[in-house]
Chains A and B, each alone.
Chain A
Amino acid sequence: GENVEQHPSTLSVQEGDSAVIKCTYSDSASNYFPWYKQELGKGPQLIIDIRSNVGEKKDQRIAVTLNKTAKHFSLHITETQPEDSAVYFCAASKGINTGTASKLTFGTGTRLQVTL
């Protein structure tokens, strides 16, 4: 089955700096890659996602890049703010609603700390 690896497990940056989190996946059939932010005591919240027909996607300070050949994708957060502090999860799925192809396989998470 699919395996998603995520690095680093913890990341500390100063306010205003950029943060990059990287994930690799094993199943070449995966084609949907969402990123979730989880704050303490809350459920995962989708912040951005990308499909395999796109190499990069941006939404204000957040961007995701995808390299299908290398099977890795990354989250980039620019101009970090204290409220960006949370645990971030990458995930992968085959992107179709058939059998287990719809399930999300998650990375192990990155705890991001933005310091003043």
Chain B
Amino acid sequence: DSGVTQTPKHLITATGQRVTLRCSPRSGDLSVYWYQQSLDQGLQFLIHYYNGEERAKGNILERFSAQQFPDLHSELNLSSLELGDSALYFCASSVGGRAVETQYFGPGTRLLVL
């Protein structure tokens, strides 16, 4: 158990809908990262938040957005969903100092868009 929690574990929805994925980092970690894992793209970095502020964006679609709240939990919002958005979505957390520390991954949310 990494100490990172994600909800829900599974999500089934229809095209065009909007969903919110939630992540709670390990106690004391200030950085939260979101990754998408799909069969054709592998594990891809989406976005990084540090202590409530966006630090870096990767290959994140404009239909996707995220935020990190004062209690450090994070939410990833996916809107206007398409079939191709079906994937596993992981969040990871790290202490978040100047140097990059180990990123600990949560169990993921499996999203299926029908």
Q: Which A residues have a C-beta under 8 Å from some C-beta of B? A: 32, 34, 36, 42-46, 49, 89, 93-97, 99-109
Contact = CB atoms under 8 A, between A and B. Distances in A.
A49 to B, nearest CB: 6
B98 A43 contact: no
Interface in B12-70: 31, 33, 35, 42-45, 48, 50, 55-58
Given A42-B107, A43-B2, A43-B107, A32 B55 contact: no
B103 interface: yes
A103 B50 CA distance: 12
B45 A97 contact: no
30 contacts: A34-B102, A36-B105, A43-B2, A43-B4, A43-B90, A43-B105, A45-B105, A46-B102, A46-B103, A93-B100, A95-B99, A97-B96, A97-B97, A97-B98, A97-B100, A99-B56, A100-B45, A100-B48, A100-B57, A102-B48, A102-B55, A102-B56, A103-B33, A103-B48, A103-B56, A103-B58, A105-B45, A106-B43, A106-B44, A107-B42
Contacts of B56: 99-103
Interface residues of B, number: 28
A106 B108 CA distance: 17
B103 A106 contact: no
A44 B50 CA distance: 21
Contacts of A99: 55-56
Contacts of B100: 32, 93-97, 101-102
A101 B31 CA distance: 13
A106 B58 CA distance: 13
Interface string B80-114: 00000000001000001111101111111000000
A105 B48 CA distance: 13
Contacts of B96: 97
